[in-house]
Structure 1
């Protein structure tokens, strides 16, 4: 099984390659993708609004929209580049098979002549399965999460 730190880098590479179905397959059945509106200060996705809080079904719907040739927001198509610092294991629970990782990142999304640059930290909660690691939660704490953001087309 690959190291959890390598898993995070492989996940980002799938997103940058536009392999969204393969990326979704990395999520556990109960997995969530969360971008808190208050960044790292937000304790949970329920007591305050979030930029995104999506389960597998909502992620699948977003992926289908991105793949639709009539999706206006993808003419021209968006591309991304993730630049990751080294992931650090914050907690490991042998009993549950869960690992919590912290990974600072830069994210660039390009569409036509426009580029968007975001910085922040990922918090991956991974669970060990027979097939390898699975994402139970991917939390994206943006550096300036509270500011007005342009539309983000892809997955940070």
Structure 2
């Protein structure tokens, strides 16, 4: 791929990641979940085992699209006590790396910093997100999303009720 082709691809991916971050920060979760493919998987390993595999290890989140849609519905409902009132968040996405897989998918990695504000307190969530993205016409969709927190524990953060 030419340099201009790689630049255009990186720009497409970065715009997609920035749009995803904005949807999450604006609590537009229904639109966010629509970014996923029907066979998508979303994983957040525990802080004590960041390389954890949901097939054999305990993880914070291991959602297929059905569970992810249910999570979004709960977070949008009045039954989400952890997020009532909702947290305010601001996401920063950086160090985006894009690699083609040869089968039309893209492997993407990025560093993420999420500031969460709730009940008069603020807490940073620092980590990395790995994606497998698929082209869908002129746009991209998330087939796999793995968010790895760099935190040693969630003691002063409370929980991962926000979508990291």
TM-score with structure 2 setting the length: 0.83
Kindly tell me the number of residue pairs found equivalent between the two proteins: 151
Cα displacement (A) at 1:118: 1.1
The one-character-per-residue Cα deviations of 1:56-98 (angstroms, maximum 9, x if unpaired) are: 1111111111221343223322121111113111x2024x210
Cα displacement (A) at 1:129: 1.9
- Name the residue aligned to 1:155: 163
Regions of 4+ moved over 3 Å: none
- Name the residue aligned to 2:116: 109
Kindly indicate whether structure 1 or structure 2 has the higher relative contact order, using CA contacts under 8 Å at least 6 residues apart. 1
1:93 aligns with 2:82: no
Helix, strand or coil at the partner of 1:9: helix
- Name the residue aligned to 2:65: 56
What is the aligned-residue RMSD (CA, Å)?
Answer: 1.8
Helix, strand or coil at the partner of 2:95: coil
CA distance in 1, matches of 2:138, 2:65: 18
Helix, strand or coil at the partner of 2:68: helix
1:34 aligns with 2:40: no
- Name the residue aligned to 1:13: 22
TM-score with structure 1 setting the length: 0.87
Taking a change above 3 Å as real, the CA distance of residues 83 and 64 of structure 1, as seen in their structure-2 partners, is same
